Amino acid sequence: MNQTFLVIPHWLFDGRLTVVWLIAGLLIFLWQARLSGWKNAGKSFLPLYVIVAAVIHFVFPRLEIMGFDPMDPSGPMVVQGLAIRGYGVFLMLAILSAIGLAVAGCRRVGVDVEKSLSLCFWIVLAGIAGARVFYVIQKWGSFDGPGGSASLIDLVDMTKGGLVVYGSLVGGGIAALVYMFVSRLPVLKTLDGLAPAMMLGLAIGRIGCLMNGCCYGGECGPHPFGLQFPAGSAPYMDQLYDGSLIGARSVEAKNEKGIRLGQEIDGGSLAERVGLKPGDRFFVIAPEAERIAAAAKHQMNPSGLEVVIESDAGGKQVVALEQVRDRSLPIHPTQIYAAINASLLCLVLWLYSDRKRFVGEVFATLIVVYPVSRFLLEMIRKDEAGVFGTPFTISQLFSMVLLVIGIALYVVLYRRFLFGEPAKSSQSSVA
């Protein structure tokens, strides 16, 4: 896990970077004017010059992150600078790689390359928007501010994760269908060309999830592939609040959000030392995740960082953070499982493209196989709970719906193939 690759220092955004760009941009403009004339240089460069200056001066400062002083993790939060997130880096790599493979795939099935590139642009924009909308809806409780509202910056900030794969499928799918209709692209043939690229983008994107520490799995004991995440990460905080890190196996108390009901207490554990027993109701109060992460990263443990454990039997117990494990218990690396699954599916779809029997078979195979693998992966993920009074997560329910659609599409296309023309003869016509 590596949430932040680097942080561009805050002092650069107090006007210095703006001045640097204004001077550098002016030099570039003069150089272009000398080569192509003042008029052409003005048309080609001045709009970009103004836009970049505005982004540096007005947008970048609003994207700076707040954090804790490494020398004083128990003190107030301070502005640190503009973070280059691991999630964002891998998201960009996923987009660029997927676009490259999508263009190659569309060329392979005979779809116009220029139109396929434009199609990818709209799919990416709508896909990211749809993925973020699904995430915000799914996690709305965490965005609800003190006044019952969420800030626009919080809603659109994806620098630390916050995208739902099925949301991107819906958003990107709508954009793709609209563009293909307007541009008169052959729908099924184009979808066949895009299918492997969708899985390549997902595979690389899941590595971004690993960097961010999201989309994590449940405990796996002494599993050879188990991962332990650092203090302050989402898996660590989850295990801290549910009692696992202090040696208490528990379930959430019925109709009492945040209250845990102890089931098993490990011998010699912190939970036992503070008096927790099976059947006790308890809850844990801890410092902010960012504060814990800062202390752990710099191997500091100021006296202000304490964990409060309240229970029926032991009352209120205050313990130093250093008495709690410094890493999470081993959990399933579901991000890696998902990346491997998507990579294999990408390879299979790409190789199968030359052997398909009818147009649309590659895409139909994708939406039959992927929902099954996603449903199974959700069974070992820990970051989402069941919805609508069921034990199934929202992704599992969506997988069921998509599987039904995929099977129906496959059956319709296969029947058309049996009683119509085969795929190879259908590929000759490109709209």
Residue 126 forms part of a structural domain: yes
Same domain as 117, residue 38: no
Residue 77 forms part of a structural domain: no
pLDDT for 402 equals: 94
Domain boundary among 274, 294, 323: 323
The residue behind tokens 């308890």 is 282
> What Å distances lie between residue 57 and 85, 117, 150, CA to CA?
21, 32, 25
pLDDT tens-place string over residues 6-31: 788 888 878 888 899 899 989 988 88
Q: Residue 428 above 60 pLDDT?
A: no
pTM: 0.82
Structure tokens, 38: 């003042």
Q: Residue 207 above 70 pLDDT?
A: yes
Same domain as 199, residue 339: yes
Same domain as 338, residue 293: no
Same domain as 340, residue 196: yes
Q: Residue 268 above 80 pLDDT?
A: yes
Average pLDDT over residues 204-221: 90
Domain boundary among 263, 297, 323: 323
Over the chain, what is the mean pLDDT? Answer: 84
For the purposes of burial, counting CB atoms within 10 Å of the CB of 23, is it exposed (0-12), middle (13-18) or buried (19 or more)?
exposed
Residue pair 74/291 in contact by the 8 Å Cβ criterion: yes
Same domain as 206, residue 96: yes
Same domain as 268, residue 141: no
Residue 72 forms part of a structural domain: no
With pLDDT > 90 as the criterion, what percentage of the chain qualifies? 32
Same domain as 213, residue 103: yes
Residue 124, amino acid: V
| Chain CA centroid to CA 347, Å | 22
Q: Residue 427 above 70 pLDDT?
A: no
- Least confident stretch, 199-203, 255-259, 357-361: 255-259
Residue 363 forms part of a structural domain: yes
SS3 235: helix
**Highest mean pLDDT range out of 89-103, 129-143, 320-334?**
89-103
Same domain as 207, residue 149: yes
**Highest mean pLDDT range out of 34-38, 292-296, 360-364, 422-426?**
360-364
Domain count, the chain: 3
pLDDT tens-place string over residues 237-256: 999 999 899 888 888 888 77
Spatial separation of the C-alpha atoms in residues 111 and 106, rounded to whole Å = 5
pLDDT tens-place string over residues 339-360: 999 999 999 999 999 889 999 9
pLDDT for 369 equals: 96
Residue 41 forms part of a structural domain: yes
Residue 202 forms part of a structural domain: yes
pLDDT for 70 equals: 61
SS3 72: coil
Same domain as 338, residue 314: no
pLDDT for 186 equals: 93
pLDDT bracket for residue 311 (50, 70, 90) = confident
pLDDT bracket for residue 160 (50, 70, 90) = low
Phi then psi for residue 428, to 5 deg, are -75, -20
DSSP letter for each residue of 153-204? HHHH--BTB---HHHHHHHHHHHHHHHHHHHT--HHHHHHHHHHHHHHHHHH
Average pLDDT over residues 360-379: 95
Same domain as 199, residue 99: yes
Residue pair 238/333 in contact by the 8 Å Cβ criterion: no
Same domain as 284, residue 301: yes
H-helix or E-strand containing 394?
helix 394-419
Same domain as 344, residue 421: yes
Spatial separation of the C-alpha atoms in residues 134 and 164, rounded to whole Å = 6
Identify the CATH number of the domain in which residue 319 sits. Answer: 2.30.42
Domain boundary among 294, 323, 352: 323
Residue 24: which domain range?
Answer: 4-63
Q: Residue 420 above 60 pLDDT?
A: yes
CA angle 174, 176, 181 (to 5 degrees): 100
Residue 287 forms part of a structural domain: yes
Residue pair 257/242 in contact by the 8 Å Cβ criterion: no
Residue 74 forms part of a structural domain: no
Spatial separation of the C-alpha atoms in residues 67 and 45, rounded to whole Å = 37
pLDDT for 298 equals: 62
**Highest mean pLDDT range out of 5-19, 193-207, 252-266?**
193-207
Phi then psi for residue 409, to 5 deg, are -65, -45
SS3 222: coil
More confident call, 207 vs 309: 207
